[in-house]
Structure 1
Amino acid sequence: MHIEQIYTGCLAQGAYYITSDGEAAIIDPLREIQPYLERLERDHVKLKYIFETHFHADFVSGHLDLSKKTNAPIVYGPTANPAFETIIATDNQVFEIGKIKIQVLHTPGHTLESSTYLLIDENGKDHAIFSGDTLFIGDVGRPDLAQKSATMTQEQLAAILFHSLRTKIMTLSDDVIVYPAHGAGSACGKNMSKETVSTIGEQKQKNYALRADMTEAEFITEVLDGLAPPPAYFGMNVAMNKSGYQSFEKILNNGMRSLSVTEFEVAAEETGALILDTRTSGDFCKGYIPQSINIGIAGDFAPWVGALIANVATPLLLVTEKGKEEESITRLSRVGFDNVIGHLDGGFETWKNSGKEIDTVKRITAEEFASEVVIPEHTVIDIRKESEYSAEHVEEAYNKPLAVINDWIKDINPQEHFYIHCAGGYRSMIAASILQARGYRNFTEVEGGFNAIAKTGISRTDFVCQSKMMK
């Protein structure tokens, strides 16, 4: 028996590849399936089943393409009702893979079809669970994502999750290994650990939601407390996972269309496509195509695209570093952004060398920022998450998280200059590109963000400024 966790950091997502005696199973595969096909060929095994823990909201699964390529059936837990052919398992149904077995444990609450897969080894011993979004390391799945489709409240779903955990998971032996679908950084929970593997016993001791003395009412209150609104693209990803989607090969072929400067301009004008520049913040600020949005590939690229662009059907034109075209298209497809209509041949340098108009972002170093800023005379906007801001921030700075920029951008006084920063410069350049695309030029972005600012002598505090930004 072999178990491999295939962890994708930018999505904080874990897929699982399991083999036994010439047969294999894959749980919660990513959109691009070639790596799985290569593993199967390398190990000389036949894929017998593709297991899905639920209809994912934060990424598009590769289940359909993988099934078509291998003829392996897709398995969902009870109550799932996809628009394509699958095996809808019953609670406690057992599937054999080589000398091992996988038992379906229906564990609704995160969603109604959510299921945990219990792996029983060659000796008949409970070995591990693949818990999907039911149980994370340090947390449990948020019960508010399925409300629209479930026709019930988040409180009712939380109550269902409470019982799923206590009747199906906490009754397992303490030495059973826990393999979750996500880790820290995923929006599918709020308190996930950076660790991606644990045991039932360890989670009973450390996971706040598995306290033995916890009542149902306490569970509901604590699980729902502090949940941020889910990203807008989540519902669209659920629909794609449930109803189907175009093959990844077709998406990649479309996106890999290489466009000349003239063709790029025509495509942008005729389609109204958003120009997405995936270069680093340092390169972007020095020069970019006007109206472009910068979300760097070297970061949490796909989740930020989903959070800020929101509509997965948005037509996209890409500007990338040379050789990063396929990676950009692939990572976009993971969150359902399939409408990439091409990329600029040669990237930004081709545009620049053609003599076309370019734009820049005013960026200064942290040292320059510290020498220029007079507190409280100057306005400073910190776009980090509230938790980051609360830990420590520039004195008198306003906290306006990037995730909700569409809410606070309207509060900016276009006549008043301000400074903007995040933790390291990645998010603040995203914000800068959005601001300038919306016509705001009255700001300066700080290179290196708060990590660099904290090394200067500027005044900092953990006191939260309650004032609102002036209009």
Structure 2
Amino acid sequence: MIIHQFYDTGLAHASYAIIRDAKMIVIDPSRDPQSYYDFAQLHEADIVGVIETHPHADFVSSHLEIHETTGAIIYCSKLVGAAYPHESFDDGDIIHLADIKLKAINTPGHSPDSICILLQDEDGNDQALFTGDTLFVGDVGRPDLRENAGNITAKKEELARQMFHSLRDKLMQLPHHVTVYPAHGPGSLCGKNMSPDLDSTIGRELRDNYALQITREDEFVKIITTDQPFVPHYFGFDVDLNKNGAPAFKQSVARVTKGNVDLEKGIIVIDTRTKEEFIAGHLKGAINLQDGGKFETWLGSIIEPHEQFYLIAATDGALAIVIKKAAKIGYEQNIKAALLTPLNANHTSAVIDLDAFKTSPNSYTIIDVRNRSEISEGKIFENALTIPLPELRNRLHEIPTGRPIVVHCAAGYRSAAATSIIAGRISSTPVYDLSEAITDFGLSH
């Protein structure tokens, strides 16, 4: 038997292949199915099944495409209300993969339709648990993403109570040696306290996972429903897209218009070049969302699912990469056109005089665009106006314009995007990015 983990660092997403006797099942696949096809070919196996632990909010799955390409059966809970061809996979249901078994365990909590998958080896021993977004290494799934999305909606407090019982009555009763394979690692917005490790055991989680130490249901609900990360705009959109099944990856990406086009007014421009390139020359009003480790998350946090946008990159290769990253959250269909840096990208950005700012920071309006959880740990500038980046486009009217504006985050990535957003709307005063220089300043007391 082979168990293989595929890991997408950009979305902190783990998917899995299980092979037994030349037959392969994929669990929670990412948008591009090619790696699963390659793995199956490498091991001379046929993909016979795809299991979805729930309709994912933070990435688009290729379950429907794999089914249409290979004929593999899609398995998911009947509670999903899936619009694609599938077989229900709930408590008591078993998938036989040669002489091993995959057993469904309904584990509502992260979502009402979440399942975990218990693998039993050829001798009938419990060996591994694929936990989706129910149990992570060091954490459990957040319960607040299905209040307005999916076939079944539920308030976060209700889901947190269901999570408490899914954990205590089902998962925590499994043998301690069972390996835990979650759908996410650190950096995912589906939890708040994940370990850097990408697998664990039931015994280790019973010992080390803070959420499994909480024995009172009311206390568990209170802790699990507070201090969760922000929810990007695209999460509900992806739940519904996954419930219906996304179009095939390569074909959908290929349909994106590329090349020189006349840009329509009123459509957002996302410039993915480095901030140095952007500062030196860009289209007026463009947003500088640099290609990087979390590009997909920030794209879906700034742009709403109904919005079209233009995508700019410095080279053909860079452009292909960011189009594929947009597709990982289902946003390739929002791209009006993708193009290289236009010749008229000659609008420059204001550059801060750092010495002047350090001498008299109170002469500036300072905007802190970090996340709420970061701000709650302390402000870097006591008088800063706090507007987290995902909220910025809807709160620009709150920014006073009587003084020069300085924007900061924790390291420089988000402040580059935020500065471009503000400067695109406010032209009556300079807008500066404090960028990496923020590390010269400590938390205020």
Q: In which range does the TM-score fall when normalised by the shorter chain?
A: over 0.9
Q: 1:380 to 1:369 in 2, by over 3 A?
A: farther
Q: Answer whether contact 1:95 1:103 (CA < 8 A) is retained.
A: yes
* Cα-to-partner distance string for 1:441-464 (whole Å, 9 max, x where unaligned): 53211232423x24xxxxx3343x
Q: Answer whether contact 2:28 2:53 (CA < 8 A) is retained.
A: yes
CA distance in 1, matches of 2:375, 2:438: 10
List aligned pairs for 1:22-61, cutoff 5 A. Answer: 22-61=22-61
Match of 2:338 in 1: 343
CA distance in 1, matches of 2:219, 2:255: 50
User: Paired residues, what number?
Assistant: 439
Q: 1:337 to 1:397 in 2, by over 3 A?
A: same
- 1:363 equivalenced with 2:351 (yes/no): yes
Which segment drifts farther, 316-325 or 296-305? 316-325
List aligned pairs for 1:7-156, cutoff 5 A. Answer: 7-148=7-148, 149=150, 150-156=152-158
Match of 2:302 in 1: 308
Gaps of 5+ in 1: 455-459, 464-471
1:438 CA drift (Å) = 1.8
Q: 1:433 to 1:50 in 2, by over 3 A?
A: same
- If the length of structure 1 is used for normalisation, what is the TM-score? 0.88
Q: Answer whether contact 1:28 1:52 (CA < 8 A) is retained.
A: yes
1:403 CA drift (Å) = 2.4
Match of 1:447 in 2: 435
Q: SS at the partner of 2:393?
A: helix
Q: Answer whether contact 1:281 1:425 (CA < 8 A) is retained.
A: no
Which segment drifts farther, 176-185 or 397-406? 397-406
- If the length of structure 2 is used for normalisation, what is the TM-score? 0.92
Q: 1:364 to 1:125 in 2, by over 3 A?
A: farther
Match of 1:269 in 2: 264
CA distance in 1, matches of 2:38, 2:367: 47
CA distance in 1, matches of 2:116, 2:31: 21
1:279 CA drift (Å) = 1.3
Match of 2:311 in 1: 318
CA distance in 1, matches of 2:137, 2:394: 32
Match of 1:296 in 2: 290
Q: Answer whether contact 1:116 1:131 (CA < 8 A) is retained.
A: yes
Q: Answer whether contact 2:76 2:90 (CA < 8 A) is retained.
A: no
Match of 1:467 in 2: none
Q: 1:386 to 1:269 in 2, by over 3 A?
A: closer
Q: Answer whether contact 2:365 2:400 (CA < 8 A) is retained.
A: no
Q: Answer whether contact 2:57 2:237 (CA < 8 A) is retained.
A: yes
1:392 CA drift (Å) = 6.0
Specify the code of the residue in structure 2 equivalent to 1:51: I
Q: 1:294 to 1:461 in 2, by over 3 A?
A: closer
* Cα-to-partner distance string for 1:39-91 (whole Å, 9 max, x where unaligned): 11121101111010001111111111111111101100242211111011131
CA distance in 1, matches of 2:273, 2:364: 30
Q: Answer whether contact 1:18 1:26 (CA < 8 A) is retained.
A: yes
Q: Answer whether contact 2:413 2:435 (CA < 8 A) is retained.
A: no
Q: 1:391 to 1:221 in 2, by over 3 A?
A: closer
Q: SS at the partner of 2:269?
A: strand
CA distance in 2, matches of 1:191, 1:407: 29
Q: 2:371 aligns with which of 385, 388, 392?
A: 385
Q: Answer whether contact 2:281 2:345 (CA < 8 A) is retained.
A: no
Gaps of 5+ in 2: none
Identity of aligned residues (%): 34
Q: SS at the partner of 2:140?
A: coil
Match of 1:280 in 2: 274
Match of 1:251 in 2: 252
